[in-house]
Chain A
Amino acid sequence: MKSSVVGNFPKVGDSHEQQKLRRGIEAYQQQKILKADLQEIQDAVTQQAIQEQINAGIDLITDGQIRWDDPLVWPARKFKGISVNGLLRFFDNNVYYRQPVVESAVGWIEPVLVHDFQFALRSVPKTASLKVVLPGPYTLGRLSKNQHYSKIEDLVLDFARALAKEAKALEGAGAKFLQFDEPSLPLYPEDFKLAAKAIEICTTPLAHSTIYVYTYFSSLSKTFDDLQNLPIHGLGVDLVSSAENIQLLRDKRSAKDLALGLVDARNTKMENEEDLRNLLESFEKNLDRIQFLNPSCGLEFLPYNSAVKKLNLIAGLTKDLVSSTKKG
């Protein structure tokens, strides 16, 4: 069992130093600094986000998605056929994203995240590994404004083809662990076949990566069985946002490996470690399936200091569990 995160990490904190990215973006928007200057700040803040995960002892980390101006949909902005429109609420959060607008056929032009991945990889010590997070094709389709395709099916499948090329490029650059985020998938169980077909397109060109699909913010009660048939290695399950997901893992054995969203990444209240252990023990049918423990979703919903505390909690809990298993 290893500790991990789901995706993003706070870009700013409360100290002056921790707000340099905020100042940098403002200065760049006012044309007071150059793009290269802003990139330098983004690099430094990315290294900081990586360092926080390493310091906490997280095993499988991300680059914190420091460059992502919008949650989840950001990489799609670099696809052909996409422009950006007004703000929309990001699921049920008091957080907004600029909605991608599909103006013409969606296509992949060039690597979007490969540079970020390579940069991050240089900052990761041997004791940890790095995963890359991509938006899932179905969720991208759902969160976009479709002004081109007559059917959402065609849009989702074109997103999938573009993401497949991106995933392949990332694997070529050395990525070993790829994650597709599909928070929209459980919300539209009637579209499961489409989502599955799209995910299959994304994963087909991948030769040796470990592939996870993460769902968060909602219940998997209507999609859990179908999710078992996806051509992936593991499933990320949010145990905080839906009590039904807890019951599911008590009742059913998962055919896929599991990454469990155990601590609430949307509330500052700190969980009790003993409660978390008891919760984990209740998943008798799936104990050998649990590969990762992580927060319920990205940590950017939390203030910086709370995010660090949650990292410490997850990493500490995982280490304690691993060492007690070894002893036992």
Chain B
Amino acid sequence: MNLPKTFLTTTTVGSFPKPDYLKKARTQFSKKEITREELEKLEKRATQEIIQFQEKLGLDILVDGEMYRGDMATFFAEHLTGCKISGLVRSYGNRYYRKPVVIGKLEWPGPITVDWWKYAQSLTHKPVKGMLTGPYTMMDWSFNEYYSNRRDTALAFSEVIAQEALALEKAGAVCIQIDEPAVSTKPEELPLAIEALSRVTQNLKAKTISHMCYGEFAKLYPKLLDLPVQQLDLEMANSDYDMIELFKKFPFTKEIGLGVLDVHNHAAEPKETIKKRIQTIFEVIPPERIYVDPDCGLKTRTLEESETKLKNMVEAVKELKKELLTYA
């Protein structure tokens, strides 16, 4: 087998656990006990720490860790004109979050994530991904009190997210991830998700990735391949790689971000398990189109758990690469 220079690239999905000092500061900030500047100082410290953490682990493509974000939809909504934030709603178990509420015409107020991306990128020579939430997901995860239907809401979100994506690219991001986890929930709305996302990606030259998780992708496949991005990042460990049979029937034509770590499980999966998971995919996708990462963001794990899990992942990839080069 002819192996390209880069294959089995390692990365993560986006979020990392926030350190205790930052959690405390966020609570204090919400009670107006500290200023925005004081909070931001700690967010920067945490970002710096998480960049170092990823470099030390030897990951190839880094993320900023989302230290300054709460929920992935709510974070953007907090900055958009036409949005407010709801009271608490339950996500699962004892976890609660606040949802965006669209109350007026959506408008882009200027760059939202660009300064953070620039800051994170200034701390490393490895590429840092730009991270956005996709328009379909923003629509699906918001309460809507303004637009008359779901399509209008999704397309309104795509206008503002497109501007943010262009601003990230202009700042130098070579890789932009636009997450659409909600896509898996309503197969009949996949065309809308594609239409909305294409308005975001059509003018981008950067590598585009879309992450999705915890849904029945089988129902969407192979139509899912029409999403206008170069890479689909899929949660696979949690669902026991049941997509592989489908990939045999309908070839997976994009790059895959292959989830190999179950992020809702405390236990670290052994290196051998991870290797096997990756090897299973070789049957259907060549190594140069495989990016290896956890199932989803790691924000619900502890840093120690994340470290052990990722260490095993990086080790597994290292060994596999060696084996591939030996037998190539």
Contacts and interface: CB of A to CB of B under 8 A. Distances in A.
Interface of A: 10-14, 19, 22, 25-26, 29, 69-70, 86-89, 91-98, 267-269, 300-306
B88 A86 contact: no
Given A89-B215, A267-B144, A303 B91 contact: no
Interface string B18-60: 0000000000000000000000000000000000000000000
A301 B89 contact: yes
Given A89-B214, A267-B143, A268-B143, A96 B92 contact: yes
Contacts of A269: 143-145
Interface string B87-100: 11111111010110
List 3 tightest A-B contacts by C-beta distance, closest first: A303-B87, A96-B92, A92-B185
A29 B93 CA distance: 12
B127 to A, nearest CB: 30
Contact of B93 (A19, A98, A267): A98
Interface string B298-314: 00000000000000000
A11 B90 contact: yes
Contacts of B186: 92
30 contacts: A10-B89, A12-B96, A14-B87, A19-B88, A69-B93, A69-B94, A70-B93, A86-B238, A86-B262, A87-B92, A88-B214, A94-B91, A94-B99, A94-B182, A96-B91, A96-B92, A267-B143, A269-B143, A300-B89, A300-B90, A301-B89, A302-B89, A303-B86, A303-B88, A303-B89, A303-B99, A304-B87, A304-B88, A305-B87, A306-B87
Contacts of A305: 87
Query: Which residue, of B92, B182, B215, has the highest number of chain A Cβ atoms within 10 A?
Result: B92
Contact of A22 (B87, B89, B96, B238): B96
A183 to B, nearest CB: 13
A95 B92 CA distance: 6
A301 B89 CA distance: 6
A112 B217 CA distance: 34
Interface in B87-119: 87-94, 96, 98-99, 101
Contacts of B89: 10, 300-303
Nearest to B89: A303
B140 interface: yes
A31 to B, nearest CB: 15
B87 A26 contact: no
A12 B88 contact: yes
A93 B89 CA distance: 12
A10 B90 contact: yes
Contacts of B143: 267-269
A276 B91 CA distance: 30
B263 to A, nearest CB: 10
A268 B94 contact: no
B141 interface: yes
Nearest to B92: A96
Interface string B201-216: 0000000000000110
Query: Which residue, of B87, B140, B186, B264, has the highest number of chain A Cβ atoms within 10 A?
Result: B87
A89 B145 contact: no
Contacts of A267: 143-145
B163 to A, nearest CB: 24
B214 A268 contact: no
B184 interface: yes
Interface string B255-290: 000000010110000000000000000000000000
B31 to A, nearest CB: 10
Interface in B139-196: 140-141, 143-145, 182, 184-186
Given A92-B186, A96-B214, A268-B143, A86 B264 contact: yes
Nearest to B101: A268
A25 B90 CA distance: 14
Contact of A268 (B145, B215, B264): B145
Given A10-B88, A267-B143, A302-B89, 4 more contacts: A87-B238, A97-B92, A268-B101, A268-B145
Nearest to B141: A94
Contacts of A14: 87-88
A37 B274 CA distance: 42
A189 B86 CA distance: 36
Given A89-B184, A89-B185, A95 B87 contact: no
Contacts of B86: 268, 303, 306
Contacts of B101: 268
Given A87-B264, A92-B186, A304-B87, A98 B144 contact: no
Contacts of A70: 92-93
A95 B238 CA distance: 16
A56 B178 CA distance: 43
Nearest to A267: B143
Interface in B226-254: 238
Contacts of A92: 185-186
Contacts of B96: 12, 22
A304 B101 CA distance: 15
Contacts of B145: 267-269
A11 B89 CA distance: 9
A30 to B, nearest CB: 11
A268 B94 CA distance: 22
Contacts of B99: 94, 303
B214 to A, nearest CB: 5
A86 B144 contact: no
B162 to A, nearest CB: 23
A96 B264 CA distance: 12
A269 B184 CA distance: 25
